[in-house]
Amino acid sequence: MDQGYEKEKFETFKIKTSVAKKFRNYCRTISKSQSMTLRLMVDFFELNGVSPQDNLGETIASLKRQVIKRSNAVIAIIKNIEKIHHKPTTAILQSLLEETSNIEQDEEDVYDFGSPVLITENEELEFYKKQYKLIQEENMSFKNKITKLLDKVNVEKRSFGKNYLKLNLDKIDFDNFRKSNNV
Domain ranges across the chain: 17-52, 55-110, 122-180
Write down the pLDDT at residue 5.
74
Task: For residues 5 and 35, give the distance between their C-alpha atoms in angstroms, rounded to a whole number.
Answer: 10
Cβ-contact 178, 169 below 8 angstroms: no
The neighbouring-strand residues paired with 164 are: 156
Write down the pLDDT at residue 173.
86
Write down the pLDDT at residue 7.
79
Cβ-contact 30, 37 below 8 angstroms: yes
Write down the pLDDT at residue 16.
93
The DSSP string of 20-49 is: HHHHHHHHHHTT--HHHHHHHHHHHHHHHT
0.85 exceeded by the pTM?
Answer: no
Cβ-contact 181, 165 below 8 angstroms: no
DSSP-derived secondary structure letter, 76: H
Write down the pLDDT at residue 110.
59
pLDDT tens series, the chain, 183 aa: 567 777 788 888 888 999 999 999 999 998 888 888 999 988 988 887 777 777 777 777 777 888 888 898 888 888 887 777 777 777 788 888 787 777 666 555 556 677 777 888 888 899 999 999 999 999 998 899 889 888 888 888 888 888 888 888 888 988 888 888 877
Write down the pLDDT at residue 85.
73
Reduced to 3 DSSP states, what percent helix, strand and coil does the chain have, rounded to the nearest 5? Answer: 70, 5, 30
Cβ-contact 142, 181 below 8 angstroms: yes
φ/ψ of residue 97, rounded to 5: -65, -40
Write down the pLDDT at residue 1.
55
Angle at 146 between CA 145 and CA 150, to 5 degrees: 120
Cβ-contact 55, 66 below 8 angstroms: no
